[in-house]
């Protein structure tokens, strides 16, 4: 079955063995070994799984938000794993070997950075900060640097350089894209992998689960912090982000 046919099919028709299930997504094999089916879930967790809940229709909103932003990045020359949106909450994605680390880019002090450095939340950083974290739930995803990455053989120096270069480009592109939707990109987490041809590509998702989006006018939080901090209107925030992205498409 060709990609175009797969995108029009019922997910149950192509869903194979589950290869991964995380807090917000699940991945399944398809009949094409180079393509995986990604399902976005409504489950929500925070504080290393200590807080759990459900955000109604989060899977739908995140699938469409991530599709919108991945499509935009691909159009700007960023290599991603995204192949297409399938039904309401599924993506078809390239099968990649994922690096076991997270790349976090911070434009404004918030969350753990504000706590660690004693900065007031909302402080605009003179220059964006790029950080690396080990992807390990059992260790609470600890902060690591290039020396740790080399010692643990998580990737080659060239692959790390490629990830960082992509992260900086993505920061500029997403900030500009979100500005058109009257959204401020506070900080966000990226995950990367390498495809069978050795190309380093953006993977995972770009959603209010993995990014902090603030209303550029009011400063209202329109991301998972509404769930973390019991601010209410969680579903409304996810819907608002999708609506603004859709309405502001060039």
Quickly state the pLDDT bin for 242 (edges 50, 70, 90).
very high
Domain 98-234 has what CATH class?
Answer: alpha beta
Residue 200 pLDDT exceeds 70: yes
Distance CA 68, CA 241 (A): 11
Architecture of the structural domain at 3-96: 2-Layer Sandwich (3.30)
Distance CA 132, CA 141 (A): 10
Q: Which residue has the higher pLDDT, 170 or 22?
A: 170
Q: For the segment 160-188, what is each residue's pLDDT rounded down to a tens digit?
A: 999 999 999 999 999 999 999 999 999 99
Q: Count the Cβ atoms, other than its own, within 10 Å of residue 249.
A: 11
Q: What is the mean pLDDT of the chain?
A: 96
Question: Pairing between strand 90-94 and 82-86?
Answer: antiparallel
Distance CA 132, CA 165 (A): 13
Query: 212 with 186: CB under 8 angstroms?
Result: yes
Tell me whether the CATH fold assigned to 3-96 matches the one assigned to 98-234. no
CA proximity to 72, closest of 165, 207, 169, 173: 173
Q: For the segment 147-164, what is each residue's pLDDT rounded down to a tens digit?
A: 999 999 999 999 999 999
The pTM score is 0.96
Distance CA 38, CA 27 (A): 5
| Domain chopping of the chain, boundaries | 3-96, 98-234
């Amino acid at each position: 079955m060709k990609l175009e046919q797969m995108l029009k099919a019922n997910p149950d028709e192509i869903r194979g063995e589950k290869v991964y299930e995380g807090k917000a997504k699940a991945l399944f094999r398809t009949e094409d070994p180079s393509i995986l089916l990604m399902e976005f879930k409504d489950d929500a967790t925070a504080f290393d799984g200590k807080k759990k809940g459900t955000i109604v229709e989060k899977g739908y909103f995140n699938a469409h938000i991530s599709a919108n932003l991945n499509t935009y990045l691909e159009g700007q020359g960023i290599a991603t794993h995204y192949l297409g949106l399938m039904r309401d909450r599924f993506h078809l994605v390239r099968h990649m070997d994922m690096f076991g680390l997270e790349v976090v880019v911070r434009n404004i002090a918030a969350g753990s950075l504000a706590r660690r450095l004693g900065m007031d939340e909302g402080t605009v950083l003179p220059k964006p900060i790029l950080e690396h974290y080990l992807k390990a739930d059992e260790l609470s995803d600890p902060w690591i640097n290039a020396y740790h990455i080399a010692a643990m053989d998580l990737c080659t120096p060239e692959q790390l350089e490629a990830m960082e270069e992509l992260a900086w480009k993505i920061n500029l592109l997403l900030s500009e894209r979100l500005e058109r939707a009257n959204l401020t990109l506070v900080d966000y987490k990226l995950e990367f992998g390498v495809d069978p041809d050795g190309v380093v590509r953006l993977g995972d998702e770009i959603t209010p689960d993995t990014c902090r989006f603030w209303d550029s006018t009011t400063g209202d939080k329109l991301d998972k912090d509404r769930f973390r901090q019991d601010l209410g209107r969680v579903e409304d925030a996810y819907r608002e982000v999708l609506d603004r992205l859709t309405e502001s498409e060039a």
